[in-house]
Structure 1
Amino acid sequence: MAGRKEAAATDAEVEYRDPWGDVDLLDKNFAAFEKRKQELAAKKQAEAAEQAAQAKAEEAKTTARDSHGERRSDSREKQDDRRSHHRHDDRRRHDDDRRRRDYDDRRRGHDDRRRGYDDRRRDYDERRRDRDDRRGRYHERDDRRRDYDDRRRDERRDHHSRRDREHARAKEPAPAPVEEAQPPMSINAVMVADRVNEILGAKTIRRSDLEPLFTPGFQLLALSDEQELGTRSELDDLLRILDGQAGWKVHVRRRLYIESTSNPDLSFALDIYAPGSGSLFDAHGPTDTAPTGATALLWRIQFNHCAQVYASAVEGTAVSETEVAQSDFMDTSVVKQALDLVLRPGGLTSDIALHYNDYINVPVLG
């Protein structure tokens, strides 16, 4: 306790001194600071100089290497130039030799051709001299001898030419005999009707045989008033049904065939079918079975195909089971209706020919 009091008394007795108030000490501190600053600056300069010296040394080494490489590249380029120059000289000498050889070959060929030309010219001159000599000797003959030689030469030439012509004519094949062209076959109404009946009477009906017989615009009409009873589409449906089926018996009792000499492409056939043995059509339209009643069909054939069929039911004399004379048959109503359709505009004219056949009592030969 006493020590503390003594120390406090001592501090109180010491006079306070401001360090910044001492000028000498301040100068001393500033001098030390400047010296330290100069030392640091000198050190930095020394380091910078050392780095610059190292960089310069490295650059010198690099420059030395580059200059050495350039010298080597220059020497290589000079060597390549010398080699290319020698190579170019060799190529030039080779080309000169080749051109010289080609020229020599062409020259030799030209000389050979020239010698051949001279030889041919010499031969030609010799032949011409010989010909002139012979001609001179020939002209020295008298005119009578010359005329005789000319005549003999002409005779020999004519003889040889005539012989050659005869020989060539003998080698030629004989001409084929010309056949007269046959006129195209015309199909009439009787042939079409018989063909349809034949197909229907076969064991199996084939649609492919019936279709070509009818035109695309085929019509089935009533014989009395020409009312439409069927079309081609209905006929096609009927043929599809009948295709492959068994046929039925078709029996024509009487037929009236009508034709005209002025219009051979148009013909008619009036067929009278017995009951139960008709064709594809009856008075009501197309049928896939044999009609039960007697039927009359008027076939209209134009340009070898069936264009229309007129159907009607028939009774009386026309369908009689006994033989009927032509005059009696012509007086029936069905024949009169058929003739009214035939003899009108679009049909046949008055110059018609009628062919009547009654198949009731057909004579059998043998």
Structure 2
Amino acid sequence: MALDPVFTPMNQRRAPELPADLKLPKVFSSADTLLDHSVKLRLAPEGLPEHALGRMEDLVLQLARIQNSGPQPFDLLSFDSPQLIVFAGDHGISDEGMSALEQSMTVEHVLQLLMGLAPVNALATMNGFDLSVVDAGVATHINLPDAARTRAPLLLRKIGYGTRNLLLGPAMSQAQVVAALHAGMDVVRHLPGNVVAIGDVGVANMVSASLLLSRLCGVPLADACVRDDFQMPGLDDSAHLARIEKLSTAASRHRKALGPLDALAALGGFEIAMMTGAMLQAASERRVVLVDGYVSGAAALVARGLCPEVADYLVYAHRTADTGHRLMLIHLQAQPLLDMSLRVNQGTGAMMAWPLLRAAQCLLER
């Protein structure tokens, strides 16, 4: 009996059939055995045991492969004009009480980012990152603060005023998914530098991330959506089981959406689609891509399904406190740089992990 596609490893599936109007950038594998050998020799001075630097060695090798693209022999790591992009979008599934926050909080979080009041603003400034906020599909109009109070630009790429309620139908149409992917590519294409950190903000976006994890990795919804991860006061076992049954009904409604693009349209969000496009474009330009947390991890899951080579360029910043994210990283066979039990997105974990990439740079400069 043939294995259900949901449970088939992503690297063993046939290439998905893509819409004719979707133009994905070409991403090349960064594998280079000779480079790995030369870099390992530089990292291990005489007298040190093999793999003395542990996982730091893996990080240095990955970064070296990404930047070893020109005709000149690889010398040192160089990080130019690093960018942090936070994609914002609302989800129609929030109408079903899937979050402790009101949908209006997405706009509030966006305004905090624009005015420099969010924790990630301070971390981005400390690390020398330029922060941009992208309106991928916030449910309401964003009234910009006074120019004197703005600390980050708002890039208007709104595909729609929030996705549809996926309990009633697909969250996005195929045309909207294609538009969002192209918009994410365009955002990266017009930003400088060779490092891109990807963050997100949006009420109920964890629900979409959990549904994508379940669909693309075969993880049971009960494991992808653990009650304690939602941090909703008064959510007892019976109420949580009712939520799982509701999400199971939604997943069953979209049971034919098995491929990464179809699953993204049925279960995802505008910001997840744009993050997917941003990752693909950044990888095609051989930029380092710092993946922040659970929701951006879902975008990485889709990006890898569309183009497996993109995995070479993704650096997973941290492991969140969410059970679903931990299961997602296991499926991706990814070792995050940090495990701080964070429950905030917006690129916060990526900024905390950045000093480790700078340390990797210093190890090759001595």
Q: TM-score, normalised by structure 2?
A: 0.19
Taking structure 1 as the reference length, what is the TM-score of the superposition?
Answer: 0.19
Structure with more contact order per residue of length (Cα contacts < 8 Å, sep ≥ 6): 2
Name the larger-Rg structure. 1
